[in-house]
Amino acid sequence: MTTMPLSLILIGSAPELQRTLLDWKQLGAINLIGVWDPHSPDAISCESLTPSAEQPVDLILVANKEREYLDKISDFQQERTLVIDFHTFWILELLVEKTLDLQALSKSEQLFQTISKYSHEGIQFVDAQGIVQYVNPSFSRITNVSPEERIGKSIFDVSPNGALAQVLKTRAPVIGWKSTSHGSNVETISNAAPITVEGEFRGAVTTFQDITEIKHLSMELQQRDLEISSLHDHLRQVHIPRYTFQDIIGESKSIQRTIEIAKKAARTRSTVLITGESGTGKELFAHAIHASSSFHQKPFVAVNCAAIPASLLESELFGYEKGAFTHATKQKIGKIELANEGTLFLDEVGDMSPQLQAKLLRVLQSKEFERVGGLATIKVNVRIIAATNHNLQQLVEEGAFREDLYYRLHVIRLETPPLRDRIEDLPALVQALMERIGSRLGLSPMALTNKGTGLLSDYHWPGNIRELENVLERLMNESTSSVIPDSLVRMHMNKLLGTLSASHAAGQAALSGTDILPLRVMEREQINRALSKYGTSLAGKKKAANSLGISIATLYNKIKEYRLQEG
């Protein structure tokens, strides 16, 4: 309800009084018609005022008691005009101030009501005794408790473990208090603070949010994170075939025959077994077969069975379920599953444990398996290409490799010929490999002379094309001209031949004059070379075993057998 401001005339003046009246006028509490005081230069003139109904005068305030002023009252007084003196005025002032205070209070209360009504957060207020005084609509929406059910109750009865009870007990603010609403079973997070007015504790207020949705969203986010990281894992393990048949260099009969069989193999999904010495291109052929198969756009997944410890190989191949073992905090998809619809390349398959051989056999026979710790049978359609530089047939005879698995793998057999048996391919290989190395290292084109190429052809390349690649890389790095000097080639070949001739001499001595090198001497020599090249640290031995085409376990056995000096 709005009321008209009081119309007031001041007769006589006091500066303080006039100031107060002007303040009130500004606040809209009074309508100051004028000040009559012939002795004050600041007085607002009322001379022109004549009593009239249009200009009602509610109040005449007489500030001076002299006759001259008192006589003036009747000039302005109307029927309903109240005449008051200075003392009464101050009582009136007190009343006006209170009214103004109340108006301000009412404004802030309206503001608070609006804020709390539309606040998304629940708000609850208790007095100093813990009796609930107020709850907002969001309180009821979140907790499912109506204001009638809550207001007037002791917080210690209705929410003894909530943030408000805590603040009442400690008189200190509480931030991020988690609890569950009994009414709706909804999880909430609250902030609460004591209310103190002029040093006196008056109660406490809490604001809180429903975090069920937030928790739900955060769990969904975690789930998505897991899915993304497992997709990243998958991507890292699935390879695009790096080579095609065009990358296989060689015009010799032996390599052309192998390429021919491999191209036929690429037209089917049959299992392929590739055998051959280390560094002869078994992996290269596996890539090329996949790349020219009808499913070349499907994954190509490679696993080196000798490079992964036997204890880990099973979960690497078959995957595992969450909780299958101590560190299995999330499900992992194995390589076989990753290769579904594509190709799984099992390098060094001869190094697989008997237990895994049995599991692999099942994949080959019935195209199904279970993840480690899993019950569900997973069906896959995978082409398997296996490779080994062991004599698998001999391993079968020795009982180290399952015969049934050997025959399952042996559907199509490829034999990659050693470089020494196709040395006529060396010039073309040198040229192609130098281009490949040059672009990898960012070097400008380089070449060997015919003589230099001839020097390379004199060597019998026990490490095959990988060894040739390594020698060429060293020559390219060391040469200061684009045509590699023959002297540099000779120096490198002498180094290689020197190592061999030492063993040759030993072999010759052992064989009393024959020029045939005993295999054991050759083997010991090669292991020795690999160890001095890669070092005897675990990483070095792994590389040495890899370049020798044997498992790390076999390498350790050989070191022991030949009593090779480590370090």
Ligand X SMILES: Nc1ncnc2c1ncn2[C@@H]1O[C@H](COP(=O)(O)OP(=O)(O)OP(=O)(O)O)[C@@H](O)[C@H]1O
Residues near ligand X (CB under 6 A) are 247-250, 276, 278-284, 347, 389, 416, 429, 432, 465-466, 469, 549
Q: Between 361 and 432, whose beta carbon lies closer to ligand X?
A: 432
Q: Between 49 and 423, whose beta carbon lies closer to ligand X?
A: 423
Residue holding tokens 């708000």?
123
Q: How far is the CB of 445 from ligand X (least distance, A)?
A: 18
Q: Between 216 and 474, whose beta carbon lies closer to ligand X?
A: 474
Question: Rounded to whole angstroms, how far apart are CA atoms 138 and 121?
Answer: 6
Q: Between 291 and 429, whose beta carbon lies closer to ligand X?
A: 429
Q: Between 195 and 259, whose beta carbon lies closer to ligand X?
A: 259
| 397-405 contacts at long range (C-beta below 8 A, 24 or more positions apart) | 400/350, 401/350, 401/357, 402/354, 402/357, 402/358, 402/361, 404/361, 405/357, 405/360, 405/361, 405/364
Q: How far is the CB of 269 from ligand X (least distance, A)?
A: 22
Tokens of residue 337, six digits? 């599953």
Q: How far is the CB of 556 from ligand X (least distance, A)?
A: 18
Tokens of residue 60, six digits? 């005449």
- DSSP track, 42-109: TPPP-TT----SSS---EEEE---SHHHHTTHHHH--TT-EEEEHHHHHHHHHHHHHHHHHHHHHHHH
The phi-psi region of residue 323 (left if phi > 0; otherwise alpha if psi is between -120 and 50; otherwise beta) is left
Q: Between 191 and 457, whose beta carbon lies closer to ligand X?
A: 457
- Helix 282-291 to helix 253-266 angle, to the nearest 10 degrees? 40
Q: How far is the CB of 251 from ligand X (least distance, A)?
A: 11
| 176-182 contacts at long range (C-beta below 8 A, 24 or more positions apart) | 178/211, 181/142, 181/143, 181/144, 181/145, 182/143
> For residue 123, what is the enclosing H or E element?
strand 122-127
Q: How far is the CB of 293 from ligand X (least distance, A)?
A: 18
Tokens of residue 53, six digits? 């109904």
Q: How far is the CB of 434 from ligand X (least distance, A)?
A: 12
Q: Between 168 and 471, whose beta carbon lies closer to ligand X?
A: 471
Q: Coil, helix or strand for 230?
A: helix
Q: Between 102 and 539, whose beta carbon lies closer to ligand X?
A: 539
Question: Rounded to whole angstroms, how far apart are CA atoms 46 and 31?
Answer: 14
Q: How far is the CB of 548 from ligand X (least distance, A)?
A: 8
Question: Rounded to whole angstroms, how far apart are CA atoms 291 and 280?
Answer: 19
- DSSP track, 133-172: EEE-HHHHHHH---HHHHTTSBHHHH-TTSHHHHHHHH-S
Q: How far is the CB of 425 from ligand X (least distance, A)?
A: 7
> For residue 16, what is the enclosing H or E element?
helix 15-27
Question: Rounded to whole angstroms, how far apart are CA atoms 128 and 384?
Answer: 78
Q: Between 124 and 258, whose beta carbon lies closer to ligand X?
A: 258
Question: Rounded to whole angstroms, how far apart are CA atoms 300 and 338?
Answer: 9
Q: How far is the CB of 331 from ligand X (least distance, A)?
A: 31
Helices and strands (H, E) in the chain, number of each type = 23, 20
Q: How far is the CB of 285 from ligand X (least distance, A)?
A: 7
Q: Between 218 and 393, whose beta carbon lies closer to ligand X?
A: 393
Q: Between 159 and 464, whose beta carbon lies closer to ligand X?
A: 464
Question: Rounded to whole angstroms, how far apart are CA atoms 480 and 502?
Answer: 31
Q: How far is the CB of 422 from ligand X (least distance, A)?
A: 9
- Parallel, antiparallel or unpaired: strands 132-135 and 82-85: unpaired
Q: How far is the CB of 332 from ligand X (least distance, A)?
A: 25
Q: Between 337 and 525, whose beta carbon lies closer to ligand X?
A: 525
Q: How far is the CB of 429 from ligand X (least distance, A)?
A: 6
Q: Between 167 and 248, whose beta carbon lies closer to ligand X?
A: 248
Q: Coil, helix or strand for 415?
A: strand
CA 530 to chain centre: 40
Partners of 203 in the β-ladder:
127, 195
